[in-house]
Structure formats: C-alpha cells, structure tokens
Amino acid sequence: MTTPDLSPVEDAPVERAAATVEQLEQEGDIAADFLEELMDIADIDGDLALDVKSGRAYVSLESDQPGSLALLSDPDTVQALQELTRIAVQNRTGRFSRLILDIGGSRDTRQRELEALVDRAIARLEEGATQASLPAMSSYERKLVHDIVTERGFVSESYGEGADRHTVISRG
C-alpha cells in the first residue's frame, strides 16, 4: 500500500508569519496532492477545488455522486483530515498552515449549525439569562461564532485554554 508523501521540501522550523497569496496557493497545491493520494488509497472519487479566502488556503472536495462523501463530511472526520492535511503542508513548506478543508459542503452545513446554536443561546439571553456559554470548538469555528454574534447585535468572548476554549455570549 502506498502512503502519502510527507517528506519536507526544506529543513525549516514551522513559523507563524503572514503568508502571501503565492504561498497560500502553494499550500493549496500541496494539500491537493496529499488529499489526492489519500483518496486514491481509499478508492474515493471526488474533485478538488482550490481557493484563497481571508488569508487562508481553502480546499474543497466535492463529488457528483450523491452520498459518496457522507462518511468523510462528518465534522469530526473533516477536522481530522484537515489537521492531517495541515501537517503535510507544514512539513513540506516549513510554515504554519491555517488551511481550511471543506468536504461535500461540510463548512456550509457547520455554518448553519453554528447559526442555530447562537440563535438558541440568544433566545436564553432574551429569556433573562445574563450570559450563554457555547461548547468548546476550534478557533475557526469560534471566529465564525463571533461574526454571527456580532451580526445579531450581541457580544462574545472566548474563554479557556486549548481544547476547552469556548465562547460566551452576552448582551454587552
């Protein structure tokens, strides 16, 4: 069985400098190569699309066959594959990657789930609660939550460390 190539292109430590559009496009290309190898190993058909959005490489995996990506589009699976892909990119470039992976529209689905979660929290505030805590989530998801909360006219802050970092919503 073939394994995806994770060999580094250069021996540079991972750093967190702002990436240029060219570097982000390179990240997308490396990610696509890595994902294509994984898809070949797993015998999964799909099309990859690359983009640069909000200072991040954005890779989408889509399929014309309904349900063919259902197992991969589970949020935990997307998160795990995204982390593996980021590690592959970081290993090849020597730079920290904030790459986003979308499988079968999973990001749009998650956006709607987060909107519903925020709406339920705001309903608790409107019923008299002073604040509403949301479950722990990734930095990307917390950013989306902060944007949704702001659009709804409320205030949010993140609390906690690492995997326990979560968002608290209040009237402000």
pLDDT tens-place string over residues 106-136? 888 889 999 999 999 999 999 999 999 999 9
State mean pLDDT over 60-76. Answer: 85
Cβ atoms 102, 73 nearer than 8 A:
no
CA contacts within 13 A on the Cβ side of 13: 3
Q: Which residue has the higher pLDDT, 16 or 89?
A: 89
Tell me which fold the domain 21-104 belongs to: GMP Synthetase; Chain A, domain 3 (3.30.300)
- The CA distance from 26 to 28, in Å, is 5
Q: How far apart are CA 19 and CA 42, in angstroms?
A: 31
CATH class of 108-170: alpha beta
Q: What burial class does residue 111 get, using C-beta atoms within 10 Å of its C-beta: 0-12 exposed, 13-18 middle, 19+ buried?
A: middle
Q: Which helix (H) or strand (E) holds 103?
A: strand 100-103
Residue 18: what pLDDT?
79
- Count the neighbouring beta carbons within 10 Å of the beta carbon of residue 54: 8
Can you tell me the mean pLDDT for 68-82? 87
**What's the pLDDT at 9?**
47
CA 61 vs CA 65, 102, 131: distances in Å: 12, 6, 38
**pLDDT at site 68:** 79
Tell me what percent of the residues of the chain surpass a pLDDT of 70. 90
Percent of the chain with pLDDT over 90: 67
Q: What SS3 state is found at 44?
A: coil
CA-based end-to-end distance of the chain: 56
Measured distance CA(144)–CA(59) in Å, rounded: 18
Helix (H) or strand (E) holding 105: none
Intervals of CATH 3.30.300.20 along the chain: 21-104
Least confident interval from 22-26, 67-71, 132-136: 67-71
Task: Return the pLDDT at 2.
Answer: 54
Domain with CATH 3.30.1370.50 in the chain: 108-170
